[in-house]
Structure 1
Amino acid sequence: MTQRQANMDWMLKDLAAGVPQTRHVVLLSADGLRMAQYGTDTDVADRIAAACAGLQSLAAAVGSELPHSQGQMRMVVIEMDGGFFYLMAAGAGAYLAVLADEGVDAGLMGQRMRDLVLRIGEHLSSPPRQEDGTSR
């Protein structure tokens, strides 16, 4: 775990602790790489991050059909049997994903996610990769 990941993990813990029924919290880059996680193991966090990259791309494509839209996804909420999935834009090139049990207060989760992004959004970003694969 890098120092940057360790510094971000506590932020995600704060979100999970503040909203009962939270199961997994993952911070990911736009290309689906896990940047930080809380409440889940690395394999699950990696699968969530990869799936979210496709979902945010799909949401942006659908959003581009709206008049006056640039196709920028802000938030996706999916209610399914057993719980909720949230995906929110969280800074330049970064997204915040949360899986929660069905007993979660859906409004509180959305509010706490927005609060987290607003409070520390500059830390929740993924710089673009250079051609050699490194971040700037």
Structure 2
Amino acid sequence: MPPTVLKQLQNSFPVANEQLARSYDNLRDQFVQSAPDVSVLVLLSGDGLALAAYGLDVDSADPVAAACSGLQSIGAALSNSLNGGGVKYHNITLVNGHLVITGCGDRSILIALIRDGGRIGSSIRETVRIADGFAPQMASDPRAFDETAQ
């Protein structure tokens, strides 16, 4: 996917809050400017559910969200066992690109797919930088369990 196409993509998930919708689009726009080799973005809430997806439809984004949330948890457990101080990011090398998974606020996760042939190092660096900058907007608690709804 050419880098300029990401700018043209809409969030696959409906967002009722217009301010949040603009915020997610601004996140996408930062990637267009700073990491043009990123072709897919998925933003997860603190409970691992996809909030926004650019470059994937809902049916594809949900399993990606579940898998990446699990990988982030595994990385955190490993880091705790090894006194690693936390996980900065995961880089999964695919045949057709690189998948970067990084924290984006309290328990929230940002996933970026760097296209095959893209600038891996600078794209990973920018993904982590953008996630760190966006993190204050993503500080989220997991959904509350309603004990009365049974």
Q: TM-score range by the shorter chain?
A: 0.7 to 0.9
- The one-character-per-residue Cα deviations of 1:37-77 (angstroms, maximum 9, x if unpaired) are 222222222121111111111112222232x335x322101
Secondary structure (helix, strand or coil) at the match of 1:37 reads strand
In the TM superposition, residue 109 of structure 1 has moved relative to its aligned partner by 1.4
Identical aligned pairs, as a percentage?
31
Aligned to 2:65: 49
Q: 1:114 to 1:21 in 2, by over 3 A?
A: closer
Of 79, 86, 95, which residue of structure 2 is paired with 1:63? Answer: 79
Aligned to 1:79: 93
Amino acid across the alignment from 2:50:
R
Residue 15 (structure 2) pairs with residue 9 (structure 1): no
- The one-character-per-residue Cα deviations of 1:5-44 (angstroms, maximum 9, x if unpaired) are 5133213322431323322100102432001122222222
Segment of structure 1 superposing worse, 41-50 or 7-16:
7-16
Segment of structure 1 superposing worse, 108-117 or 51-60:
108-117
Secondary structure (helix, strand or coil) at the match of 1:64 reads helix
Q: How far apart, CA to CA, are the structure 2 residues paired with 1:37 and 1:5?
A: 13
Secondary structure (helix, strand or coil) at the match of 2:40 reads strand
Q: 1:27 to 1:44 in 2, by over 3 A?
A: same
Give the alignment's TM-score, normalised by structure 2. Answer: 0.75
Of 138, 144, 147, which residue of structure 2 is paired with 1:124? Answer: 138
Aligned to 1:25: 41
Give the alignment's TM-score, normalised by structure 1. Answer: 0.82
Q: How far apart, CA to CA, are the structure 2 residues paired with 1:95 and 1:45?
A: 13
Aligned residues: 131
Question: Are 2:102 and 2:109, in contact at CA under 8 Å, matched by a contact in 1?
Answer: yes
- The one-character-per-residue Cα deviations of 1:72-106 (angstroms, maximum 9, x if unpaired) are 32210111211101000110020100112221211
Aligned to 2:55: 39
Aligned to 1:107: 121
Larger radius of gyration between Structure 1 and Structure 2: 2
Amino acid across the alignment from 2:95:
D
